[in-house]
Amino acid sequence: MNPWLWVVAGLVVVVVVGGFLAWMKTRIRYVVGRTSLRIMCFGMTLRQIPFSEIERISKPRREGALLDTVSWVNTWEPGHREMVVHVRSGWRRRILITPRHRYAFRSELRAAMEKAGRAAEEEEDWG
């Protein structure tokens, strides 16, 4: 068999797999639940962050090291969509996400966290 055929077949496989992975990146979604923030792809939860683990939410700072940041970016042009969720524990404590409307998403997340916090306080009162 001609060795060039193997080279061409290998390149085709690399291009197809790369294209599939690039397309998969755009399918990542962020869902604010009743008790946690979920990062999902095709209905499967890739990462779940309980509200009790979220320390704060901020815009990214470029001066920090990226070794402690997990990137769940779902666009090729993140620009003004970037938002960092700081968690209390774990090896990587910053999670970079890119919701379409970052300030509206932040407000939704904060409201859900407050609502979950009030519900937890009420449970403790009955406890």
Q: Is 79 inside any structural domain?
A: yes
Q: Which two tokens stand for residue 59?
A: 């815009």
Name the amino acid, one letter, at 89. Answer: S
In a domain, 70, yes or no: yes
> Residue 25's pLDDT is what?
82
Q: Is residue 18 part of a domain?
A: no
Per-residue pLDDT at 51: 93
Please report, for the domain that includes residue 92, its CATH number: 2.30.29.30
- 114 within a domain of the structure (yes/no): yes
Rounded Cα distance, 70 and 92, in Å: 6
Is residue 86 within 8 A of residue 56, CB to CB? The reply is yes
Res 91: pLDDT: 83
Q: Please name the residue ranges forming H helices in the chain.
A: 3-25, 102-126
Closest CA to 70 of 98, 44, 43: 98
Cβ atoms of 85 and 95 closer than 8 Å: yes
Q: Is residue 92 part of a domain?
A: yes
pLDDT at residue 63 in the model: 63
Please tell me the total count of domains within the chain.
1
Question: What does pLDDT average to in each consecutive run of 10 residues of the chain (127 residues)?
Answer: 88 93 87 94 92 90 72 86 90 90 92 82 55
pLDDT value of position 120: 63
User: Does residue 55 fall inside a structural domain?
Assistant: yes
Phi first, then psi, for residue 91 (nearest 5°) are: -70, -45
Domain extent for 89? 29-126
b (16+ CB within 10 A) / e for 61-75: eeeeeeeeebebebe
113 phi and psi angles, rounded to 5 deg: -65, -40
pLDDT of residue 32: 94
